Amino acid sequence: MMDFFRKSEGVWFSQRSVHRFDSAGDESGESNLIIGVLEKDDPKVLAICGEQGVDPIWISGGASFQWQGNLSEKEPDPNYEAILVDIPNPDNRQQGKFLRNKGYVEGIPVIGVYHFSDDGVLTIETEYEKNQGQEKCWFVNDNFRVRVSTVKILNGVNLMTYCSERRCVNPTFLSELIEQNCKRA
């Protein structure tokens, strides 16, 4: 999982399509997803372990996920941040559990399970108080990834999402590319 977090680290331009099966409004749109890797001794990771009663000896680290409007020039709002802490299965590194400070579906601390398929697709399943969520995520290449999810309530599927995410190029890398192109001309 930590390899997946490291591969995901950075800023992603996310285009989201949402299909709701109830009368709620359309939540489709564009945003930036900002992912940062957190080591196992990071204070945010240790705080979540403490809050959820998990001995940090079992964890491998974590990641911070922040959402922001893609045209916003403000610093990301910490209220739109989720921290995931990885508890790998010691017998099978393709499986494990997550501690999460706040859930995607319900804004409460949750524990989810994950597994990687042989082709690298990550599946996360989370049980909430009133809902169940399933998310799948995979890389098409190092700079493009896809996420799909469903949310189920007691009487069936309530929400489905599809997100395509492109890694944003940082200014330093962009300057290097421009310089390389100028040299070729």
The CATH number of the domain where 43 resides is what? 2.40.128.20
Query: If pLDDT is split at 50, 70 and 90, which confidence band does 105 have?
Result: low
Q: Could you tell me which of 140, 142, 88, 144 has the C-alpha nearest to residue 116?
A: 88
pLDDT tens, residue by residue, 33-50 = 999 999 999 999 999 999
pLDDT of residue 92: 95
Predicted local confidence at residue 56, as pLDDT: 96
Residue-level pLDDT at 25 = 66
Band of residue 103 on the pLDDT scale cut at 50, 70, 90: low
| The pair of three-digit structure tokens given for residue 99, joined into one six-digit string | 């501690």
- pLDDT score recorded for residue 9: 96
Taking only the tens place, the pLDDT of each residue in 5-35 is 999 999 999 999 988 877 666 678 888 999 9
pTM summary value: 0.85
Domain total of the chain: 1
Mean model confidence pLDDT for the chain: 89
Spatial contact of 130 and 140, defined as CB atoms under 8 Å apart: no
Going by C-alpha positions, the residue among 1, 3, 28 that lies closest to residue 16 is: 28
Tokens representing residue 79 in the block: 């209220």
* Domain around 126: 2-184
Count of C-beta atoms within a 10 Å radius of residue 136? 15
Q: Which residues pair with 143 in a beta bridge?
A: none
